[in-house]
Structure 1
Amino acid sequence: MGEVINDFTVITGATRGLGHELATQMAAEGLPLCLIGRSTARLAPILDTASGQIIVAEADLARPQDILEIFPRALPKGARIGCLINNAGCFSETEETTFLQLHHDLQVEISMVNGFAVAALTHAAHPFLTTGSLIVNVLSDMAFPRHWEGTYPHYCAAKAYALAFTVNAAPALHREGIRMIGVDPGWMRTDMGGPDAPDDPAEVASAIRRMISKRMELTPGSIYHALSGVKTAPI
């Protein structure tokens, strides 16, 4: 299997947090990128300084139809996806104390964006993937039962869905020469993680980029801690 280095890297949730850091760093390398977000105006500074081809696509990953349409609409004819980074996420602090009063629309959004969208985007991207392509699913500490504390039930359940999908979809993809892994980014200082989080999203983005550069060494279906690079048990 050869490395895929000239095809597009797709980053979801590219307008903020870890996704924005990944987009900024990869754009500085001149990599061809497809950046997906709800409000793409935030990507203007990246576009102004990038040296490689960048496609910006607006999509709401809580809407299945947006997911179905995104790649045929955004990618040029004949384009391939060398790396798909399923990074988009959403979170609600109100879920911790008032989840029984959580509005239905927010329940659906949390479940879709953090969970089902990972699977749906994998299916939607499949026609554009090729031998050597890599799918990176950005998870969370809260995907793992050992971190469940009786809070954020919708978010934990959605991230656990993404974790289970990563482990169980990887073998079929690997038979086609496509690797899928999960990455636990840790607790980062983002608008979701808050200012007291210990990890710098720029450092986490750099660590994920190093993983991607060594994709052929990654074990399909495995979950890696971003900063340490160590595989972690999916339980």
Structure 2
Amino acid sequence: MTHWTLVTGANRGLGLELVRQLLADGARVVATCRQPGRAQALNALAAEYPGHLKVLPLDVGDAASREELAREWPLAAGREARIGLLVNNAGVLHGGERFGALTEEILDDSLRTNVVGPLLLTQALAPLLADGARVANLSSQLGSIAGTTRFGTPSYAISKAALNMATVQLAHALRERGIVVVALHPGWVRTDMGGAQATETPEESVAGLRRVIAGLGAADSGRFLDWTGASLPW
């Protein structure tokens, strides 16, 4: 049975770098983004690695889009293919939030994209996950309640804290099938989201994340780890 990796939010940043590294190592990858037709880097990789990369549309925060991805899977990857690794990478960060000016719209968008989307996508794809598969939810140290020392990026921080709980819930739901679910902090990475002052390159972060994922065992399911494998406080 063929196993594929599925990466959401794969058109730029960490998602794109993850796809690059996986393909270079011979993996088969389904990469998703909201507008595949405009994902030039992904489409170039698909041409470079024929048969190893499929690019599919997904708006992780939209129920119909999640359901369509699950329906399209057999056509894209093959009827007998299963997901060996699911990386819930797609996310949103709204900058410039100030206390006194927080809005329901931004909070709702952050929660829908960063929490509800990954949780319900994993649920929708559960029948396609191989027994013993890995699910990596891209979280952030900003989601650590114990580590919070100031007011900042509240909708993002709140959503990542909620994603951490969703990770633990999924770990329990999928444990009987040997599926390991973890929340991973990728470091402060120089991407569009992380900014130019960030300390890690996408290449370094992704290489570290891949080492952590490769080393996961059953006892790690439900943990909150960073890209070096260190445990983070809830």
Asked if Structure 1 and Structure 2 have the same fold, meaning a TM-score greater than 0.5 normalized by the shorter chain, the answer is yes
Counterpart Cα distance in 1 of 2:167 and 2:205: 20
Give the structure 2 partner of residue 199 of structure 1. Answer: 200
Q: Which amino acid aligns with 2:95?
A: E
Matches of residues 28-67 of structure 1 in structure 2 within 5 Å? 28-40=24-36, 41-42=39-40, 43-50=42-49, 52-67=51-66
Match of 1:95 in 2: 97
Deviates more, 1:152-161 or 1:41-50: 41-50
**TM-score between both structures, scaled by the size of structure 1:** 0.88
3-state DSSP of counterpart to 2:217: helix
| Partner SS for 2:192 | coil
Structure 2 residue 110 is matched with structure 1 residue 114 = no
Matched-pair contact (CA < 8 Å) for 1:91–1:155: yes
Cα distance between partner residues in 1 of 2:172 and 2:3? 23
Residue identity opposite 1:17 in structure 2: G
Partner of 1:71: 70
Q: Would the alpha carbon gap of residues 30 and 99 (structure 1) be closer, same or farther in structure 2, given more than 3 Å must change?
A: farther
Report if aligned partners of 1:31, 1:52 keep a CA contact under 8 Å in 2: no
Matches within 5 A, 1:75-154: 75=74, 76-96=78-98, 99-100=101-102, 102=103, 104=105, 106-145=106-145, 146-147=147-148, 149-154=150-155
Runs of 4+ in 1 over 4 A off after TM superposition: 96-99
C-alpha distance in structure 2 between counterparts of 1:48 and 1:148, whole Å:
46
- Distance change in 2, residues 1:216/1:161 (3 Å): same
**Counterpart secondary structure, 2:207:** helix
Mapped partners of 1:25, 1:198: distance in 2: 20
Aligned-residue Cα RMSD (Å) equals: 2.0
Which consecutive unaligned segments of at least 5 residues does structure 1 have?
Answer: none
Show structure 2 runs of 5+ residues with no match.
none
The Cα shift of 1:13 comes to 0.7
The Cα offsets for residues 27-57 of structure 1, whole Å up to 9 and x where unpaired, read as: 1122111101112223122112226521111
- Tell me, in whole angstroms, the C-alpha distance in 2 between the residues paired with 1:74 and 1:168: 25
Same amino acid, percent of matched pairs: 30
Q: Could you tell me whether the CA contact under 8 Å between 1:13 and 1:37 is conserved in 2?
A: yes
SS in 1 for 2:5: strand
**Whole-Å Cα distance in 2 between the matches of residues 218 and 36 of structure 1?**
29
1:9 aligns with 2:5: yes
Q: Which amino acid aligns with 2:136?
A: V
Mapped to 1, the partners of 2:44 and 2:100 lie a distance apart of 38
Give 1:112 shift. 1.2
| CA distance in structure 2 between the partners assigned to 1:155 and 1:148 by the alignment | 15
Measured in 1, the distance between the counterparts of 2:149 and 2:49 equals 40
One-letter code of the match for 1:109?
D
Letter in 1 for 2:209: I
Q: What's 1:181 paired with?
A: 182
Partner secondary structure for residue 206 of structure 1: helix
Q: How far 1:171 sits from its partner (Å)?
A: 2.3
> Structure 1: which amino acid aligns with 2:18?
L
Q: Number of residues paired by the alignment?
A: 227
> Normalising to structure 2: TM-score of the pair?
0.89
Give the Å deviation of 1:215: 3.3
